Amino acid sequence: MELEKQLDYLFNPGSVALIGASNNLAKWGFHILSLLIAKDGRHIYPVNRNGNEIQGLKAYQSVSQVPGPVDLAVITVPFIEVPAAMEDCARKGVKVAVVISGGFAETGGEGAGIQREVVEIARRAGIRFVGPNCMGHFDTSADFFTVPYLPPVSKGPLALIAQSGNTSQSIVYLACELGLGFSKYVSSGNEADLHFEDYMEYLARDDETKIILGYIEGLKEGRRFFKLARELTRKKPVVIMKAGRTEAGARAARSHTAALAGSDVVCEAALKQSGVIRVEEVNELIDVALVLLGQPLPRGRRVGVLSAGGGAAVIAADALMRQHLELPQLSPGTIDKLNSLLPSRWSHVNPVETGGDPFSYACLWALMEDENVDAAFVIGGGGVTGSYAKWVSLPASVSNQIEQYLEEAEVGELNDVDKSMESMKKYQKPIIFANMGVPTPRKGKVYEKLQKEYIIPFLTPERAAKALSHLVQYSEYLRA
Amino acid sequence: MELEKQLDYLFNPGSVALIGASNNLAKWGFHILSLLIAKDGRHIYPVNRNGNEIQGLKAYQSVSQVPGPVDLAVITVPFIEVPAAMEDCARKGVKVAVVISGGFAETGGEGAGIQREVVEIARRAGIRFVGPNCMGHFDTSADFFTVPYLPPVSKGPLALIAQSGNTSQSIVYLACELGLGFSKYVSSGNEADLHFEDYMEYLARDDETKIILGYIEGLKEGRRFFKLARELTRKKPVVIMKAGRTEAGARAARSHTAALAGSDVVCEAALKQSGVIRVEEVNELIDVALVLLGQPLPRGRRVGVLSAGGGAAVIAADALMRQHLELPQLSPGTIDKLNSLLPSRWSHVNPVETGGDPFSYACLWALMEDENVDAAFVIGGGGVTGSYAKWVSLPASVSNQIEQYLEEAEVGELNDVDKSMESMKKYQKPIIFANMGVPTPRKGKVYEKLQKEYIIPFLTPERAAKALSHLVQYSEYLRA
């Protein structure tokens, strides 16, 4: 059977055997089974050497005793028992497997030999498998999940391949918190059989996947990875966090997924030449996904900054400069427009600083129209009027006034956000919103409207500047 | 009157005149007045050239018409009217003032001359003043607030002096979100009269202030600052964010608070030599405050890492190494202890990685006892068992089991946290908790217990490593 077909079965099997199914809540085999049962529509077969009944289902002592066909086997038994389980899968004619169990090549000991044994058994039988030492996988379209340690995941444009279960878990949590959805996910573990590159090739052809996110400690097929990446990044962005940058990190990676990483400098250069966006932190994967989803590709690195406060303007300027972005002079026409919109004490240069007043969105539109500006960066501003009204007791007349003022302001801002989105589409320039801790807006209708467009205010100007810088560099790569 | 006495009046006045009091919700003079009225116990006098009644109080056309004495005048009228307002304060014998209004030296134009005029008027009358171009101030002990754009602030050990209103607002928001409280706060604005150094000297003697946080764009009295800092940092930590690091940032700072910053490299060196902890981002101010409040000062930079996942171990190692911390070899005794606590597949080196299983706290205690380790760094782990139970429908028997399991786990963990705190006190070694997005624990009883001790899990290993590194450097400074 060809690989693509096998991976189709992996992500959307008709029947699943769980080898290591358990009634014991401390075992993975308990939670995976609960989850498989809860998600209807597939044949689920608990397998456990004791047989009997598990969570209300008849349990089989081995996969070969299962009456119907088994597309996918999920294996959670201790590593020492995995070769026998794989033998049994071979006898049964299982198509594809996920080996959750750890204790293999990553330990450097006895497990390494057992891992080789498992690979040989699977190869002879034509079974391809995920792992070992992994956390499972999911497909939101097929509504199929083997990983029970996640928040509710919605359908969406992101795919994730990760050489670490707990890191992937963090990535999914961070994305879900912002309302971002996933197409497919796989925790690839030690990659004894299926490699990062196999999943990548498969996701390249997956129409539901718009962006591929990856967490890497070491590549099994570096040459193939970079060849694939060069083709892929012209069509879909690939965003990679490669860990083990430092000596101690690389050493830890060896004892994790048995990864043998080469020089980080060489890796960095190769990623860059392939158009891969490399990030340094887990948060940054999601930050970059956001700007890729929500923003047009900028035509240059000249940023117009709009700030409702002087400190924020200084901090934004520092953050943008440190990411090698530019703060251009504004054109005389823009200065004229801003003169008519702002009190005379405004900064009169880029960053445009209002002199402490909340800005009107018309200032943003003026920046967007400026031919010297490739992207707008909006920081701070608004949203805290009357914040004290929530914690001191005011006369009803005052608190009603504040409430009405805020409601009217919200209606106005919703309208302004629409116009800003039009301006973004018309000029094909990104608009990056950032704040520094003041939650503006972190909820309410304005936030919801922005969130639908993947335009979520960044929590720090530094993160916002970094994300914009990645977008600029990717755009430069595609245009080169 | 000596300065200290005047600053006592600033932070705890018996009577306050608000010059620019307003019934118009779009004006600062509206919100400051509402807030002053809501906080009982002082004489509040609205002043507005139209007189009449404002928010139910009789308004005076000038300060000199106020019947009783006026300790503090808060001025929010347009900059062009400030000299006349200050003249009036002089006539009245006002002791101290806060000039909120902007449009002065920061504009580089006409306002610079007016600022000089205001200073001269105040000097002649012996009035010291905050600002102009600032956001006000507060004192939680006196329950006195002139800044209405903040969340509820509780009493606590932090003081903040900031040369930016909106940045200070962010800092206060971030601290409040984590339950950190403040003693005093001042938004120092252009510092035409009172300087950063004046507040610093005052806070040095303030018993309620345990840590001084500062946001600086440029110092008026650099020499005095560093002299004060050298004395102060031996007793109370001083944590500073100095912005305007880049050329564009410094330019923006000039048009903000009229700050003239020297070379950032020189400044960096001077801050270091004075024992000041310099941070790069707004978040980092609070991160450092947390470790200063919650952790003992480490005796060295050797960090023992405990991770419940391989990816987290690699990322933590990278983060610590990049902050120039060390990952020492563990002593044989520690390895023996960990062998008895963990499955055989554990990493057997530092970072201690459990092989994917949640760790027991006993592993942490083993690290704390190791004479090769100066601080423990705990990442990931636990807390997500049964997360799927919240979003798929399970049989009651299963979800009840999960609930009970989690409740029992919580009881156990509360107990383990107590023992960990004992271990921290006994060995005088910091314990830093970090996670990468999975909210463990971000709420619930374990979080509350940790929060009370100022031990709040950092949201990224990079932030955690940076905070620990600052603590290590401060400790080295004090011991040198």
Q: What is the pLDDT along chain B (480 residues), one digit of tens a residue?
A: 799 999 999 999 999 999 999 999 889 999 999 999 998 889 999 999 998 999 999 999 999 999 999 999 999 999 999 999 999 999 999 999 999 999 888 887 789 999 999 999 999 999 999 999 999 999 999 999 999 988 899 999 999 999 999 899 999 999 998 999 999 999 999 999 999 999 999 999 999 999 999 999 999 999 999 999 999 999 999 999 999 888 888 888 877 766 666 678 888 889 999 999 999 999 999 999 999 999 999 999 999 999 988 899 999 999 999 999 999 999 999 999 999 999 888 999 999 998 777 778 999 999 999 999 999 999 975 456 777 888 888 889 888 988 898 888 889 999 999 999 999 999 999 999 998 877 665 678 988 999 999 999 998 999 999 999 999 999 999 999
Tell me how far the alpha carbon of residue A377 is from its chain's centroid. 23
Q: A198: burial class by Cβ within 10 Å (0-12, 13-18, 19+)? A: buried
Please tell me what DSSP assigns to residue A426. H
What does the block give as tokens for A446? 């304005």
Neighbouring residues of B226: CB distance < 8 A, sequence distance ≥ 6: B270, B273, B274
Helix or strand or coil: residue A339? helix
- pTM, two decimal places: 0.95
Q: How far apart are CA B151 and CA B353, in angstroms?
A: 40
Q: Which domains does chain A have, with CATH numbers?
A: 3-130 (3.40.50.720), 150-293 (3.40.50.261), 295-479 (3.40.50.261)
Q: Within 10 A of A371 (CB to CB), how many other CB atoms are there?
A: 11
Which residues in B146-302 belong to E strands, given as ranges? 155-162, 182-187, 211-216, 238-242, 277-279
Sign of CA dihedral A291, A297, A302, A305: negative
Q: Give the helix/strand (H/E) hosting B407.
A: helix B396-427
- Identify all chain A residues contacting B389, using CB atoms and an 8 Å cutoff: 34
**Residue type for position A29:** G
Is there a contact between B462 and A308 if contact means CB atoms under 8 Å apart? no
Write the residue in A106, A111, A318 that is nearest to B243 by C-beta.
A318
Q: Are A380 and A308 in contact (CB under 8 A)?
A: yes
- Identify all chain A residues contacting B249, using CB atoms and an 8 Å cutoff: 314-315, 317-318, 321
Does residue B392 belong to the interface with chain A, where contact is any CB pair within 8 Å?
A: yes
Q: Within 10 A of A452 (CB to CB), how many other CB atoms are there?
A: 10
A402-416 in b/e burial notation, b at 16+ Cβ within 10 A? Answer: beeeeeebeeebeeb
Chain B: closest CA distance from residue A57 (Å): 13
Sign of CA dihedral B9, B13, B18, B19: negative
B384-416 in b/e burial notation, b at 16+ Cβ within 10 A? Answer: bbbbbbeebebeeebbebbeeebeebeeebeeb
Q: Are A14 and A94 in contact (CB under 8 A)?
A: no
Q: How far apart are CA B158 and CA B161, in angstroms?
A: 10
Q: Which residues of chain A have pLDDT under 50?
A: 382
Residue whose token pair is 């570096």? A222
Is there a contact between A164 and B311 if contact means CB atoms under 8 Å apart? yes
Write the residue in A39, A252, A394 that is nearest to B38 by C-beta.
A394
Write the residue in B252, B308, B321 that is nearest to A351 by C-beta.
B252
Q: Within 10 A of A83 (CB to CB), how many other CB atoms are there?
A: 17
